[in-house]
A and B are shown apart, each in its own frame.
Chain A
Amino acid sequence: MKSLMVLACAVALTATAFAADHGPVFSYATPVNSEREFSFDTGIFGRNGSRGTQFSTGSGFGYGVTPHLTVNFFLPATFGSGNLPESRIVSGSEWSAGASWRFLHSVTSVGKRIESTASLGLVVPGPQQDSGTLNLHRAPGITGTLVTGMASRSQYIWVGGGYTRFAEASHDKRPDTLSWSAVYGYRPAGLRRGYDQWDYRGFAELTGEHTGAVRAGGLILPNSSSTTLWLGPSVLAIFKDVAIEGGVQGPLFRDASESIYGRERIRFGINLSYLKYSSHTSSH
């Protein structure tokens, strides 16, 4: 197990990046990249259950096409197997590419924004085979998310949901997944400091997922759908263009067949971000 963790961390740290938008670890949030901003993120996520631990590392890139439109892609890899239900909150081994459009952006005062962001993406199977219950023929899918909320110097609130639908491959079909999240963030008064100092904030993240039934060989696998609800804290620390965030979640509610999936106990994640802002300006 130790060597697995070391390997996973090494890959995470040397990989090029995945964009978590320097916000919460598990939940949906509204921020997108600035125009011409590159974001590079890399992280490691873990899911531990009665049948083992599954790690996934994610490396992603984002680019701000306009101040409100970001294109991104994500290259994950998984290690170990927990025979766990499908999840879109914690990444698996799917490669994905998509775009996020912040279609509502209302600036109400110094430091405060109310905004909504919609994302649409394509999910394709990576070179790795999923293991355990999901050892199926895999086909691409499409995913969409919608999130709305408020950001300010002191508090953050975001509520969002997402849906992923997979196509069928050789009479197998991965379960469609409905995900949702609500997050509250707080930055204490003493930490509302200058931008040339470390910026910290804490989050309470509530996430949930419902996965549909797995279809294998044209037959529905009985009791293969699942519904879970997770809650836990996370912390984000940023210094100018570098961010590190980490969080952990425990189950609030589980409706998943233990004979198929075992008993998932804990989820955790650590993410590193590098934000490369553009100094380009037009000439007058």
Chain B
Amino acid sequence: MKMILVAGFLALSTLAAHAEYEQVNLTVFGMDCAPCAHAIHVSMKGIQGVNSVDVDLNTGLVSIKLTPGNSAAMRQFNEAVEKNGFTHKDASVLVRGQLSGSAQAPFLEVTGTKDRYALAPLATGTNLTGLFGKTVLIEGTLPQSGKGKVSGTLRYKSVTEAK
């Protein structure tokens, strides 16, 4: 019984520390009609780990919520836009990952994927000291990237230690 409890605790700990995207809000240009939005919806839902997708045609905002434990990569979201002939702009993300590097050159590694971002603050005042080596939850913006590419920089609004 004790062993089961320990195993269960360890499994939960691993899940909590899993690096992943929790939410991605992507601005998409070029969608004029309902089938455009439906195509985006189908493509996004085809990505493993995507829980729900909402598309607002009038603002171009595609809101993606992901399931815990997913390993979806940012490149997959961009590809889902590109394959339908549209253009992705900035994306705001809520992402969990491991903080590495130094205070001068911090990095976020989304370890479940190959995504690694240099971190830059959107505003001054966020102190990263004490968070290095830990799993953190970051809310921030990924600037627009070229076709087939993902921005290497994540501009963070907030960084907190993941619970």
Which residues of A does B touch, CB under 8 Å? Answer: 22, 32, 34-37, 67-68, 102, 105, 107-113, 151-153, 156, 192-195, 197-199, 201, 238-241, 243, 275, 277-284
What secondary structure prevails in chain A residues at the interface with B?
loop
Q: Quick one: given A34-B83, A279-B45, A284-B71, are A192 and B38 in contact (CB under 8 Å)?
A: no
A34 to B58, CA, bound (A): 21
Q: Which residue of A lies closest to B71 (CB)?
A: A284
Nearest 6 pairs of A and B residues by beta carbon: A279-B46, A195-B37, A284-B73, A199-B34, A110-B60, A35-B83
Identify A240's interface contact among B35, B58, B82, CB under 8 A. Answer: B35
Q: Which residue of A lies closest to B50 (CB)?
A: A281
Whether a CB of chain A sits under 8 angstroms from the CB of B76 is yes
A197 to B56, CA, bound (A): 12
Q: Quick one: given A195-B37, A239-B34, are A67 and B85 in contact (CB under 8 Å)?
A: yes
Whether B34 and A238, one on each chain, are in contact in the complex, defined by CB atoms closer than 8 angstroms, is yes
Whether B85 and A105, one on each chain, are in contact in the complex, defined by CB atoms closer than 8 angstroms, is yes
A215 to chain B, nearest CB (A): 42
Residue contacts A-B, CB under 8 angstroms, 29 given: A22-B33, A22-B35, A34-B43, A35-B84, A36-B83, A37-B84, A107-B30, A107-B86, A108-B29, A109-B29, A110-B58, A111-B32, A193-B57, A195-B37, A195-B38, A195-B55, A195-B57, A197-B34, A201-B33, A238-B33, A238-B35, A239-B34, A275-B39, A277-B39, A277-B42, A278-B43, A278-B83, A281-B76, A281-B79
Whether A284 and B114, one on each chain, are in contact in the complex, defined by CB atoms closer than 8 angstroms, is yes
Interface size class of B (residues with CB under 8 A): 35 or more
A274 to chain B, nearest CB (A): 11
Q: Which residue of B lies closest to A111 (CB)?
A: B32
A152 to B60, CA, bound (A): 12
Whether a CB of chain A sits under 8 angstroms from the CB of B87 is yes
Identify A107's interface contact among B29, B41, B46, B71, CB under 8 A. Answer: B29
Whether a CB of chain A sits under 8 angstroms from the CB of B80 is yes
Whether B43 and A279, one on each chain, are in contact in the complex, defined by CB atoms closer than 8 angstroms, is yes
A68 to B84, CA, bound (A): 9
Residue picked from B35, B72, B84, most chain A C-beta under 10 Å: B35
Assuming A67-B82, A111-B60, A240-B38, what are 5 further A-B pairs, CB within 8 angstroms? A22-B35, A111-B30, A275-B39, A277-B84, A281-B80
Q: Which residue of A lies closest to B34 (CB)?
A: A199
Collect the chain A residues with CB atoms within 8 Å of residue B39's CB.
34, 37, 275, 277
Whether a CB of chain A sits under 8 angstroms from the CB of B108 is no
Residue picked from B30, B46, B59, B75, most chain A C-beta under 10 Å: B30
Whether A195 and B85, one on each chain, are in contact in the complex, defined by CB atoms closer than 8 angstroms, is no
Q: Which residue of A lies closest to B72 (CB)?
A: A284
B15 to chain A, nearest CB (A): 20
A156 to B46, CA, bound (A): 30
Whether B71 and A195, one on each chain, are in contact in the complex, defined by CB atoms closer than 8 angstroms, is no
Q: Which residue of A lies closest to B37 (CB)?
A: A195
Whether B32 and A112, one on each chain, are in contact in the complex, defined by CB atoms closer than 8 angstroms, is yes
Whether B58 and A111, one on each chain, are in contact in the complex, defined by CB atoms closer than 8 angstroms, is yes
Identify B38's interface contact among A32, A112, A241, CB under 8 A. Answer: A241
Collect the chain A residues with CB atoms within 8 Å of residue B72's CB.
284
A174 to B46, CA, bound (A): 48
Whether A192 and B57, one on each chain, are in contact in the complex, defined by CB atoms closer than 8 angstroms, is yes
A284 to chain B, nearest CB (A): 3
Q: Quick one: given A32-B85, A153-B58, are A278 and B42 in contact (CB under 8 Å)?
A: yes
Identify A110's interface contact among B29, B33, B43, CB under 8 A. Answer: B29
